[in-house]
């Protein structure tokens, strides 16, 4: 089959890393369209290198902008591409604006849309990703889900069971494949941090970064943790965080790191404080306890198994959750089908055929 895989932002790259080589090995003509939503070397190129992702066939240079500008530009560029290439299907992954643009542009051209990581729900419409997930799933012809709960969500929303395939978590496959490659890495040492002796933090969601009081609470909580904190900062968070921390020697703000270093940093951390979707899943895989600074999560399964807990953006609540995380046992079970066979199951699902568009 001729397949176009749309990717644009950091978490997309991790998801397509195991997928695209598996599709090509199965004989598909699968090629990547990079929308350019993320463009800094540390937010894009490093992942293609670290994860040996095939070079994108198309770069669409969409760049930053408001949601409508970014999504609209990506739709315009993707529409032109899909029209000239007429693929058998378009694969979109995750929940970023590039995912939404890919699903919209493809479905308007009557192309089949396959959504990988379908069915996750936070039930929080203040989250841009929830809107992207809901729309992408309504437009998709085939839904590849990471958990059984995701399939249940889709069925509740009226998706026919024959369109849903529980393939497992593709982020987990990236972890399984790359963890052995970082056995000898301890990137924390470059910052004077020993394995087990630091917290790792990432914060980039608008609900935290764009509300001054919440970001200040998070900064205060990090500066008061019982262990030093390494914080690779997303570009949207950097300026405000630097101002708030005012040279605290407890929190080290560093540039975003590559995937392999990030994996090793997560494995070696005593605890992780994050609002990232992917990091919630990876911390679960590497058995490092996680505190998620959000009011809800679409990755509820990580809390259910005992790997993750939620804390609102309040200094005392974050501290209490970190203390609980540090004291909790680390032998939680990894969720079902969060393993190294996810891309294999996707290839199998495609071999069984893509259900036709509704009404076609």
Binding site for ligand UDP (CB under 6 A): 10-11, 14, 202, 232, 256-259, 262, 276-279, 282
Among ligand UD1, ligand UDP, none, residue 302 binds (CB under 5-8 Å by kind): none
Which class for 135: exposed (0-12), middle (13-18), buried (19 or more C-beta within 10 A)?
middle
Check binding of 235 to ligand UD1 (CB under 6 A): yes
Q: Which is nearer to ligand UDP, 11 or 168 (CB)?
A: 11
* Residue 204 a catalytic site member: yes
Give 147-155's long-range contacts (Cβ < 8 A, gap of 24+): 147/119, 147/120, 147/301, 147/335, 147/336, 147/337, 148/336, 149/119, 149/300, 149/301, 150/118, 150/119, 150/120, 150/121, 151/119, 152/119, 153/119, 153/120, 153/121, 154/118, 154/119
97 touches ligand UD1 (CB under 6 A): yes
User: From the CB of 71, what's the least distance to ligand UD1, in Å?
Assistant: 8
User: Per-residue x/- marks for ligand UD1, 119-158, CB under 6 A?
Assistant: ---------xx-----------------------------
Backbone angles phi, psi at 65, to 5 degrees: 165, 180
CA distance 328 to 295: 21
- Which range in 8-16, 153-161, 170-178, 244-252 contacts ligand UD1 by CB under 6 A? 8-16
Residues 6+ apart with CB under 8 A from 194: 186, 188
CB of 66 to ligand UD1, least distance (A): 8
CA distances from 124 to 84, 131, 133, 154, 207 (A): 37, 9, 11, 16, 11
Helical (H) or strand (E) element with 309: strand 308-310
Q: In the complex, what is the shortest distance from the CB of residue 324 to ligand UD1, in angstroms, rounded to a whole number?
A: 25
Binding positions for ligand UD1, 153-182, rule CB under 6 A: none
* Position 306 contacts ligand UD1 (CB under 6 A): no
Of ligand UDP, ligand UD1, none, which one does residue 282 interact with (CB within 5 to 8 Å by kind)?
ligand UDP
**Given the complex with ligand UDP, which of 81 and 175 has the nearer CB atom?**
175
| Residues that bind ligand UD1 in the complex, under the rule CB under 6 A | 9-11, 37-40, 43, 64, 70, 95-97, 128-129, 204, 234-236
Active site positions, annotated? 204
């Amino acid at each position: 089959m001729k397949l176009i895989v749309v990717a644009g932002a950091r978490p997309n790259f991790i998801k397509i890393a195991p997928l695209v080589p598996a599709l090509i090995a199965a004989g598909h003509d699968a090629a990547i369209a990079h929308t350019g939503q993320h463009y800094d070397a540390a937010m894009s190129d490093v992942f293609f290198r670290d994860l040996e992702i095939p070079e994108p066939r198309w770069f669409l240079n969409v760049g930053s902008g408001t949601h409508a500008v970014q999504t609209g530009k990506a739709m315009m560029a993707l529409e032109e591409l899909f029209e000239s290439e007429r693929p058998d299907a378009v694969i979109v992954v995750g929940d970023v604006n590039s995912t939404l643009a890919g699903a919209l542009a493809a479905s308007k051209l009557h192309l089949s849309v396959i959504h990988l990581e379908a069915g996750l729900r936070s039930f929080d419409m203040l989250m841009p990703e929830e809107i992207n997930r809901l729309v992408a799933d309504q437009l998709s012809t085939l839904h590849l889900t990471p958990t059984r709960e995701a399939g249940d969500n889709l069925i509740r929303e009226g998706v026919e069971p024959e369109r849903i395939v529980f393939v497992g978590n593709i982020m987990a496959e990236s972890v399984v494949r790359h963890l052995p490659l970082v056995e000898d890495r301890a990137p924390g040492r470059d910052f004077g941090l020993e394995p087990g002796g630091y917290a790792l933090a990432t914060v980039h969601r608008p609900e935290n970064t764009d509300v001054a009081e919440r970001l200040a609470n998070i900064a205060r909580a990090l500066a008061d943790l019982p262990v030093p904190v390494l914080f690779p900062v997303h570009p949207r968070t950097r300026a405000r965080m630097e101002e708030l921390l005012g040279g605290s020697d407890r929190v080290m703000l560093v540039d975003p790191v590559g995937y392999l270093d990030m994996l090793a940093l997560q494995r070696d951390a005593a605890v992780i404080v994050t609002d990232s979707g992917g990091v919630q899943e990876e911390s679960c895989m590497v058995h490092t306890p996680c505190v998620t600074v959000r009011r809800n999560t679409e990755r509820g399964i990580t809390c259910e198994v005992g790997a993750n807990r939620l804390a609102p953006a309040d200094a005392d609540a974050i501290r209490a959750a970190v203390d609980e995380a540090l004291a909790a046992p680390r032998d939680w079970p990894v969720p079902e089908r969060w393993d190294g066979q996810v891309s294999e199951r996707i290839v199998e699902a495609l071999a069984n055929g893509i259900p036709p568009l509704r009404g076609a």
